[in-house]
Structure 1
Amino acid sequence: MNLKKIDFPLTVCKLDAMDKVDTKSDFFFFAKTDEELSLVCKTEDTPSQTTAREDGWRAFRIEGTLDFSLIGILSKLSTILAENKIGIFAVSTYNTDYILIKEENFAKAIAILQENGYTVK
């Protein structure tokens, strides 16, 4: 399976209002539930006013479009990383999954995944 590195730093944050999200940005994930508003975005695009913020994330995505009938792809990746004491923050789109890893563990995570048969570009 092929993984593609995302070549910019990311921030995970909470907001108190949706109007703070720059929807013209070329990369972001936004989630709204009955409990919170969450945003994952390029660190440079993070709104100045957040209620909580954590910088220092990097990411890769699973290449290609994943059919909804496929089972266990994210589970296998997260298990390999968990067995090596690397935590993740996962987000999904209609097409694929994105795995965020703290910057200090990113190179180690990539090496471990390559040792386990994944191709990382």
Structure 2
Amino acid sequence: MRRMELKRIDGQFTVCKLKSVADIDLHQEFYFIGRTDEEISLVCKTEDTPVETLERDDGWRAFRIQGTLDFSLIGILSKISTILAENKIGIFAVSTYNTDYILVKEDNFETALMALEKNGYNIV
């Protein structure tokens, strides 16, 4: 069986809360928007963070699970988060239609990738 690949994503990321989606530059290459009845959240490259934020948390790094994940697959994010939790590394996860992105704080990034590699993941 082929080892699951995790790909590093270049750059630093910010997780923030916004007052309006109008504050988001939709022309940027990389961003995630979450909107509920309670809040508007944005994950973006730190340099692309809107000036007006209600709250923000900088210093995140990211990697993604390579390839397109079938919806019938079970426990992929759970396995990764368990390995990182056992190493006392918190995560912020975002899922897209194709795959999952995992963000960890900058000071834990290399430790997280080493722990995952030790547990059978291929880091690219």
Provide the identity percentage. 68
- Tell me, in whole angstroms, the C-alpha distance in 2 between the residues paired with 1:18 and 1:7: 25
Aligned-residue RMSD, C-alpha: 0.3
Equivalent position SS for 2:112: helix
Q: Distance in 2 between matches of 1:89 and 1:66?
A: 19
Aligned pairs for 1:54-65 (under 5 A) are 54-65=57-68
2:109 aligned partner: 106
Partner residue of 2:50?
47
- 1:73 pairs with 2:76: yes
Deviations 1:53-111 (A, max 9, x none): 00000000000000000000000000000011000000000000000000000010011
Q: Which structure 2 residues correspond to residues 1-121 of structure 1 after superposition, within 5 A?
A: 1-121=4-124
Runs of 4+, deviation exceeding 3 Å: none
User: 1:18 and 1:89 mapped to 2: Cα distance?
Assistant: 21
Ranges in structure 2 where 5+ consecutive residues have no aligned partner:
none
Distance 2:34 2:78 in 1: 21
Gaps (5+ residues) in structure 1? Answer: none
Amino acid at match of 1:31: G
Give the whole-Å Cα distance in 2 for the aligned partners of 1:77 and 1:31.
Answer: 22
TM-score of the two chains, using structure 2 as the length reference: 0.97
Q: What is the number of residues matched between the two proteins?
A: 121
Q: Give the letter aligned to residue 93 of structure 2.
A: A
CA distance in 2, matches of 1:112, 1:18: 36
The alignment's TM-score, normalised by the length of structure 1, stands at 0.99
